[in-house]
Amino acid sequence: MARFIFITGGVVSSLGKGLASAALGALLQARGYSVRLRKLDPYLNVDPGTMSPFEHGEVFVTDDGAETDLDLGHYERFTGVPARRTDSVSSGRIYSNVLEKERRGDYLGKTIQVIPHVTNEIKDFLRIGEDEVDFMLCEIGGTVGDIEGLPFFEAIRQFGQDKPRGQCIYMHLTLLPYLAASGELKTKPTQHSVKELRAIGIAPDVLVCRSEGPIPQKEREKLALFCNVRPEAVIAAQDLRSIYEAPLAYHREGLDQAVLDAFQISPAPRPNLAKWEDVVDRIMNPEGEVHIAIVGKYTQLGDAYKSIAEALTHGGIANRVRVRAEWLDSELFEKTGDVASHLEGYDAILVPGGFGERGTEGKIKAAQFARERKVPYLGICLGMQLAVIEASRNLAGLTDAGSEEFDHEKGERRFTPVIYHLKEWLEGNRTVQRSVADDKGGTMRLGAYDAILAAGSQVSGIYGTLTISERHRHRYEVDIAYRERLESCGLRFSGLSPDGRLPEIVEIPGHPWFIGVQYHPELKSKPFAPHPLFADFIRAALEQSRLF
């Protein structure tokens, strides 16, 4: 039977609850325990899949095809435990389930209310898989006091009462602001946040306080007294040079010990933190540096490409080099028409995924620059499709090559579609069918699918196998009908779906490193297990840097 740790936040948002949860999961693993992490989000979207990256950052996709919050990416990167559909839920999903049950007559005509029907639905979600692990860490999105979060706070309060005593604890993450004018670290916002939490029946067992610097002993004692927690359970969370320092930093502060003490687990197993010490050593003591240009259209918000940024860091860890990534707006290339002046000097170019036509011509120019100048290139999802369009236009003579996605967006036929809307594909033993008119949410090719790699190809050497499984999130595919024409011009289709109908990987033989993949390899990369594509991409960038 799992022990439950509920992580809540207060004072302000974006304090790093997801990172703190992930780091705590890693520390419990280091002590030999099994863990699973979950995210409960108060927003009314049924899932994040239809939300703009500017609204909520990237969408993280699980093996079983769920579109989830980006915090699940943190959970996977720190614990290595593959997230599942049942590890993420929103208010929208909870209310949708309740209303579906009401329509079916499951409630036998009763009046449907937040308590008990919505809170019971949340508690049912929490119970899924509770017998599979030693610890279940559940992060509640938002901050205490948010009106939309109240059903979740009430549900976890009830859940703690339903379970045997000592089965659940509550960890609260807050901010300690520093007022430079008076030279004071202020505890009052945290006191009020805890007061708000206790007013709804939840008393925190562990208090994690974000601050720019150390928390003096006097302030720790004050927080312990006024927030009714043990002094050793007041944990400082200072700003770090790298997020991958978090497990070691939290361990030094005693977070894992405070959690085990709250559960009265004694004696606690000693932690083995060797792999995190190695990761941090590689980050802090690099033996080289590479510069990567990421050409996208959501460049104003770093969280839009969070997993890609982290996967590049992991590639740097694998090669013991520092990766300096520059985010370049692809529309800049379209406005100026001058690609070379923006891309010269970079050791490699990465074009990530995205939706819609805006900025795509700039990305195509970036792919052309990388191909012609022999600069290492990694195209992911749309980045792979645009590399195919570039080759179709400039190598295969299809000067009007494009994607059906762009024609559908404009409502007119403008291109020869070498990229088409996928209407049917195999998912295991069943056939999935989609149309352009379908709802947007959850209607893409989502989750893990196998691919067969061509023997002797560059990617088969990188992976060290001929069969791989990677996560997908897209509606449009490269048309296999153009394979022969494109391969005759030098673009090799080196990875296909098992039935041979869907191109998964393209590469250019003879180029130092030019690979496009239809899937999202960044979603499976971890600091202690970098994805092979990113590790080799950074290796190629390092070799490129040594040429100049």
C-alpha to C-alpha distance for 184 and 176, rounded to whole angstroms? 10
Question: Looking at residue 325, what is its pLDDT?
Answer: 94
Average pLDDT over residues 518-525: 96
Asked if pLDDT for residue 154 goes beyond 50, the answer is: yes
Decide if pLDDT at 489 tops 50.
Answer: yes
Spatial distance between the Cα atoms of 91 and 157, rounded to a whole number of angstroms = 17
pLDDT digits over 62-107, tens only?
Answer: 999 999 888 999 999 999 999 999 999 999 999 999 999 999 999 8
> What was the pLDDT predicted at 534?
98
The two tokens of residue 474 are 């897209």
Whole-model pTM? 0.91
Separation between Cα atoms, residue 140 and residue 151, nearest integer Å: 11
Query: Counting beta carbons within 10 angstroms of the beta carbon of residue 58, is it exposed (0 to 12), middle (13 to 18) or buried (19 or more)?
Result: buried
pLDDT recorded at residue 429: 56
Q: What percent of the chain has pLDDT over 90?
A: 73
What's the whole-number mean pLDDT along residues 102-120? 92
Question: Where are the extended beta strands (E) located within 409-528?
Answer: 416-421, 424-427, 430-433, 445-453, 467-474, 476-478, 492-496, 503-507, 514-517
Q: Whose CA is closest to 525, among 317, 346, 327, 324? A: 317
For residue 412, what pLDDT is reported? Answer: 64
* CB 322, CB 288: distance < 8 Å: yes
Q: Closest Cα to residue 387, out of 345, 331, 349, 336? A: 349
Domains in the chain, start-ordered, CATH in brackets?
3-279 (3.40.50.300), 287-419+481-491+502-545 (3.40.50.880)
Buried residues in 91-120 as b, exposed as e (16+ CB within 10 A): bbbbbebbeeeeeeeeeeeeeeeeeebbbe
pLDDT one-digit tens code per residue, 28-62: 999 999 999 999 999 888 877 677 666 667 889 99
The mean per-residue pLDDT over the stretch 172-199 comes to 91
Residue 425 pLDDT > 60, yes or no? no
Mean pLDDT of 231-237: 94
Section 115-134 average pLDDT: 96
> Averaged over 312-337, what is the pLDDT?
90
Give residues with Cβ within 8 angstroms of 547, minimum separation 6.
none
CA–CA gap between residue 305 and residue 133 (Å, rounded): 31
Residue 438 confidence (pLDDT) above 70: no
- Kindly give, in sequence order, each residue whose CB lies less than 8 Å from that of residue 134, ignoring residues fewer than 6 positions away: 2, 3, 28, 33, 34, 35
The mean pLDDT value of the chain amounts to 90
Q: Quick check: 369 pLDDT over 80?
A: yes
Cβ(188)–Cβ(223) below 8 Å: no
Percent of the chain predicted with pLDDT > 70: 92
Which residue's entry shows tokens 């006091």? 145
More confidently predicted of 299 and 383: 383
Buried b (16+ CB within 10 A) or exposed e, 480-489: eebbebbeee
What pLDDT was estimated at residue 440? 45
d(CA 354, CA 143): 30
Distances (CA, A) of 318 to 265, 279, 375: 36, 9, 21
- Return the DSSP state at 429: T
Averaged pLDDT, 262-270: 92
The pLDDT value recorded for residue 311 is 97
Q: pLDDT of 339-348, one tens digit each?
A: 888 899 999 9
For 416, phi then psi, to 5°, come to -80, 115
Q: Please name which of 408, 309, 306, 292 lies closest in space to residue 350, comparing C-alpha atoms.
A: 292
Give per-residue burial for 137-165: e unless 16+ CB within 10 Å, then b. Answer: bbbbbbbbbeeebbbbbbbbbbbbeebee
* C-alpha–C-alpha distance, residues 420 and 432, integer Å: 16
Measured at the CA of 8, the angle between CA 32 and CA 136, to 5 degrees, comes to 30
Give which of 154, 150, 197, 209 is closest to 15, Cα–Cα. Answer: 209
Alpha carbon distance 440, 404 (integer Å): 16
- The answer on pLDDT for 330 being more than 80 is yes
pLDDT, average across residues 274-278: 97
Of residues 126 and 424, the one with the higher pLDDT is 126
Annotated active-site positions, please? 381, 520, 522
Written as six digits, the tokens of 341 are 């002046």
Residue 209 confidence (pLDDT) above 70: yes
3-class secondary-structure state, position 407:
helix
pLDDT at 365: 93
- Would the pLDDT of 441 be above 50? no
Contact 379, 498 (CB under 8 A): no
User: What pLDDT shows up at residue 22?
Assistant: 97
Does pLDDT of 447 surpass 70?
yes
Which pLDDT belongs to residue 428? 58
Residue 179 has pLDDT above 80, yes or no: yes
pLDDT of residue 478: 94
Question: CA-based diameter of the chain, in Å?
Answer: 75
* Residue keyed to tokens 């006191």: 191
Question: Which of 71-85, 221-235, 411-425, 517-531 is the least confident region?
Answer: 411-425
Q: What was the pLDDT predicted at 178?
A: 86
Please name which of 168, 141, 133, 167 lies closest in space to residue 36, comparing C-alpha atoms: 133
pLDDT of residue 161: 95
Alpha-helix runs per DSSP H in 232-381: 246-253, 255-262, 274-284, 306-319, 330-336, 340-343, 360-373
